[in-house]
Structure 1
Amino acid sequence: MRCSGHAQQGDLTDDEWAVLEPLLPNSNKRRGRWRDHRQVINGIIHRLSTGCQWRKLPERFGSWQTVHKRHMLWSADGTWEPLLQRVQAVADAAGDVDWNINIDSTSVRVHQHAAGAPTAPPPAPPSTSKGALQKVHLSADGKCRPLSLVVTPGRRADCTQFEPVMDKICVPRLGAGRLRRLPDSAGADKVYSNGLIRSYLRRRGIRHVIPEKSDTKSARLGRGSRGGRPPGFDKTRYKARNTVERAINKLKQFRAVATRYDKRGYVFLGTDTAAALLIWLRS
C-alpha cells in the first residue's frame, strides 16, 4: 500500500517552480528523461515531509524508482548544493539575505533502516550508519535560513566543524563579481570558543560574537597582564544567535531530516540540502 496524502499538499507552487526550473540540469537540452523534473521533485518533497519509504510514494509522482534514483544521483553528483546556492544568489541580489550569520549543530537519530549501508565509496561524506546519532552542522543567515551544511558522525566535536561550515558558504553573484563567502559577522556559543576559531575569523576580518569559556577566562586572568585583553563581546548581537536554532527547527519539520532514513551519508546530506532549498524557496 502506498502512503496516503492530500492531492497537491506540499507540492511546488508555480512561483517556486518558476525560480527553480531554469536552474535544473539539462532542463531544456535533454528529452524524455528530464521532462518530468517537477513531478519528480514533488515526489522528493513528499518523502522529505513524511519520511515514508520510497516505494510507498503516492502514484501521482510516477515511478517511485525514478524519484529515488534522481535523488540519489543529485546527492552523489552534488546537484542539490549548487541549486541551493543559486536560490541564495537570487535572494542576495534582491537584498534579502541578512549576512549576520550564526553557527550551531543538531543531533539526528539514525533509524534502524539506515543501518548496514554498502561500502562502495561515494563522492561525499562517509556513511555512519553503525552509530545511533548523526550530527548536522550548519550556518544560518539572520532570517533563519540555512546557508551551509556539513554532516558528521554524532560524536564529532562541534568546534572541529566550524571551519568546514564557514568554508562551504558560497553564494554566487547573478551579475559580475566574486562569490560571496564572508558574512558581516558570525555568532556561536561557548562550544566554539577556542583560539583556532578566533584566529580563523580574525584572518578573514569577520566580526564575531563567541562567549569566552569560564576556564579560559580564569587562565587569562591568572596570567595577569600577560594574559591579554578579553575578546570583545556584544550582548545584543549574541541574542540574535537564536536564528540558527530557528533554522534547525525549520529543517527538522521535515521528517526525513529529523530522523535519518538514508543509508548513505552523502544521500542524507542531499536530503538536508534539498530541505534547505525548500526553506529558501518558501521564505
Structure 2
Amino acid sequence: MVRRHELTDQEWELLAPLIPRAATGRPRVEDRQVVNGMVYKIRTGISWRDLPERCGPWQTVCTRFRRCALDGVFTRALWQIQARADAAGDIDWLLQIDSTIVRVHRHAAATGRKGGPKGDEPDDHALGRSRGGLTTKIHLACDGRGRPLAILLTPGQRHDSVCARPLLERIHVPRPGRPRRRPDQIIADRACSSRGLRAYLRKRGIARTISEKADQQRHRLNRGRRGGRPPGFDREAHRRRNTIERCFNRLKGFHGIATRYDKTATSYEAAVSLASFLLWARSV
C-alpha cells in the first residue's frame, strides 16, 4: 500500500536505476524507503529531524539526499524521463519561460560562513534581497503541457532578461546522437523583452512571442524609420502563457519548494529537480 507522500510503483521504477548503490560496506537502509523520506520532506517542508520513523533514520535520509544532490542524480532522472517522453512524441516544443520568487526561511540564511562555496556552489548560494526580503528566484522553462524542461536558480533580485539565455542553454533532452537543446518557439512576458535575447533567438532560428515593453515601443516610434519594424507578436500563442503559471502552482504544492529551507543552492535545486521529476512521472 502506497502511503501519503510516497512514491508509486511506477515512479520508483523510473527512478530506481539511477540511485547510486555501494558495492561494499554495512547493510544499508532500503533505497526506496530513503527516497520516500526525501519526497516526504520536500512535500511537507518539515525538518529532517521530524521525518516519520517509517522513512528510516533521518541522518541517513539527509546524508543520501546531499550525496544525490552533489552527484546530480535528480537532474539526470529529469533528463531521462524527458527523453522517454520525447521518444514517444509527447513533448510540446512550444516553450514558455518565466520566474517565481521564493521566500527563504531563516534556517537557510546562515550559509557560507566558513571556507566559502565549494565545487559548483555559487558564491551567493542563490540568496538575494528583493521587496519580499531574503529570497531566491526559480527561473523555469516548461513545455506546452506545463512540465519543467530546465531550471535555473538565482538571487531574488536578478532580472529575468539577464537569466533567459542561461536558462535556455540548460535545456538538455537526450536523444540518439546529440541531445535536443533548441525549442520550436519561445513564449515569454515583457520582462524578457531585450534586444540581446531577441538577437540570440533569431540567430538560433527559434520563433519568439515576447510582448514589447512600453518604453521600448515609444523609443522605436520616436526614431521613426530608423526605429525599424515592430517585433512579431502572435497574440493567440501568447494566450497560452498561463501554462507556466499552472506549472509553478503545481511545483509550489510542494511546501519544501514554496519556501526554501535548504542552506545551499545545490540542495535546493536538487529538491526542485525531484519535484519536477514527479510532475513528469505523473503525466507520462
Q: Does 1:180 align with 2:180?
A: yes
Structure 2 residue ranges without an equivalent (≥5):
none
Q: 2:150 aligns with which of 142, 148, 151?
A: 148
The residue number in structure 1 matching 2:278 is 278
Q: Is the 8 A contact 1:116 1:130 kept in 2?
A: no
% identity of equivalent residues: 45
Distance of 1:190 and 1:254 partners within structure 2: 28
Q: Which amino acid aligns with 1:171?
A: V
TM-score w.r.t. the length of structure 2 is: 0.91
Deviation at 1:184, TM superposition (A): 1.0
* Residues 30-179 of structure 1 aligned to structure 2 (within 5 Å): 36-119=30-113, 120-122=116-118, 123-125=120-122, 126-129=124-127, 131=129, 132-173=134-175, 176-179=176-179
- The residue matched to 1:116 in structure 2 has which SS? coil
1:268 partner amino acid: Y
Deviations 1:165-206 (A, max 9, x none): 100000101xx2320101111010001001000011011100
Per the TM alignment, residue 136 of structure 1 is displaced from its structure 2 partner at its CA by: 0.6
Equivalent in the alignment of 1:10: 5
Question: Equivalents in 1 of 2:167, 2:87: separation in Å?
Answer: 22
* Secondary structure of the structure 2 residue equivalent to 1:44: helix
CA shift at 1:10, angstroms? 2.1
For 1:197 and 1:11, the matched residues in 2 are separated by: 41
Residue 244 of structure 2 aligns with which residue? 244
Check conservation: 2:95, 2:185, Cα contact below 8 A. yes
Specify whether residues 247 and 30 from structure 1 end up closer, same or farther in structure 2 by C-alpha distance, changes over 3 A only: farther
Asked if the contact 2:29–2:56 (Cα under 8 Å) also holds between the matched residues in 1, the reply is: no
1:89-146 Cα deviation digits (max 9, x unpaired)? 1111111111101000000011111121234423233425574111111101111111
Q: What number of residue pairs does the alignment pair up? A: 275
- Superposed displacement of residue 82, structure 1: 1.2
C-alpha distance in 2 between matches for 1:130 and 1:200: 27
Corresponding letter in the other structure for 2:47: Q
- Give the unaligned 5+ runs of structure 1: 1-5
Residue deviations 1:35-67, cap 9 Å, x none?
Answer: 722111110010011000001101111111111
Equivalent residue letter for 2:251: L
Q: How does 1:199-210 map to 2 (within 5 A)?
A: 199-210=199-210
- Tell me which residue corresponds to 1:226: 226
Residues 98 and 244 of structure 2 are in contact (CA less than 8 Å); yes or no, is this contact kept in structure 1?
yes
Deviation at 1:33, TM superposition (A): 6.5
RMSD: 1.9
Answering whether residue 15 of structure 2 is matched by residue 20 of structure 1, we say yes
